[in-house]
Amino acid sequence: MVSVLPARPRWGTPHAPHLPRIAGGPGEEIPASLIRPPVDLELIVPAFNEERRLPGTIACTIDYLSGRPWTSAVVVVDNDSADCTLEALGAFGDAPVSTYVIGCSSHGRGAAVRRGIATSAARFVGFADADNATPIGTLDMVMALLSEAYGAVIASRRAPGAHYEIEQSALRRGGGWMFRRPAQLTLPDIADTQCGFKFFDGPLVRAIVSSCRIDGFAFDVELLARLSREGRAIIEVPVAWSDVPGSTFSARTDGLRSMADLLRIALSR
């Protein structure tokens, strides 16, 4: 057990036996009543049609967090799912770690993550993909680095020491290569902008996310670029990453949109 937080009040966070669902979309002022109780760490999981992969990920995350020395909460942001994603989360109402489900009517992974961050009051906040591709134990290193005043700590599949437990298909590797090239125009010093496991100083990222506009998969690049322009340090940590079947990413629609978004980000500098 690694205690990385200095002595400070540990705020009580009431459990959510019926998993309260908070609705809303971007652009609206968020009432104070929708801001969740503060904790040391809040982990956001964006979810769109994730009834199969999400329960296992949430169970693993809660099991890990319940044994850590910091207070925490898990927040699933339902991105207008059409399957039984919400029903699949019913078993976690009495979990030892506070678990919330909130809504985001604007479609896109970026929109869902932005909604989760904007409604957080946590000291540190971040997001992880619903596929559990990055080992949740990576948070031990993440929390230690955040406590050293890094603005962002992001998982990387290409930093020295990283490796693939389960490799991606050739098609996805090719798509990733095509994405990285234009992303490096904006973030030349970051090897992997798209690994879905990123954590931030809470007050800092909440101030920055209000000006983010990308709703899709290029949201990570926009957020990291704005953090970098603020002069805050971003550090990549190597991970043992596994490709997990079931991604909702569409190379035809999401790929083209992401390329267009990367161009917008690069031109906005």
Contacts of 47 (CB under 8 A, 6+ apart): 54, 76, 77, 78, 79, 81, 85, 112, 130
pTM: 0.82
- State both tokens at 85: 């994603």
What is the helix (H) or strand (E) element at residue 261, kind and residue range? Answer: helix 253-267
Angle subtended at Cα 198 by Cα 117 and Cα 269, rounded to the nearest 5 degrees: 80
- CA separation for the pair 154, 238 (Å, rounded): 9
Burial class (CB in 10 A: 0-12, 13-18, 19+), 178: middle
Domain 30-268 matching CATH 3.90.550.10: the answer reads yes
Give the three-state DSSP class for 209: helix
pLDDT (mean) for 71-99: 93
CB atoms within 10 A of CB 215: 22
Angle subtended at Cα 229 by Cα 256 and Cα 28, rounded to the nearest 5 degrees: 65
Return the DSSP state at 33: G
Question: Does the pLDDT at position 266 exceed 60?
Answer: yes
pLDDT, position 192: 93
Burial class (CB in 10 A: 0-12, 13-18, 19+), 176: middle
- CA separation for the pair 54, 72 (Å, rounded): 18
CB atoms within 10 A of CB 156: 22
Question: Does the pLDDT at position 181 exceed 90?
Answer: no
- CA separation for the pair 261, 253 (Å, rounded): 12
Task: Report helix angle 170-186 to 219-229, nearest 10.
Answer: 30
Concatenate the DSSP letters of all residues of 59-120 into one string: HHHHHHHTTSSS-EEEEEEE-S-SSSHHHHTGGGTT-SSEEEEEE--S-SHHHHHHHHHHT-
- CA separation for the pair 206, 124 (Å, rounded): 10
Question: Does the pLDDT at position 8 exceed 80?
Answer: no
pLDDT (mean) for 211-219: 90
pLDDT (mean) for 66-75: 97
pLDDT, position 176: 62
Return the DSSP state at 161: T
> Could you state, in order of their start, the residue ranges of all structural domains in the chain?
30-268
Residue 165 vs residues 156, 171, 175: alpha-carbon distances, Å: 13, 18, 19
pLDDT (tens digit per residue) in 112-139: 999 999 999 999 999 999 999 999 999 9
Percentage, residues of the chain above pLDDT 90 = 59
pLDDT band of 257, cuts 50, 70, 90: confident
CB atoms within 10 A of CB 12: 10
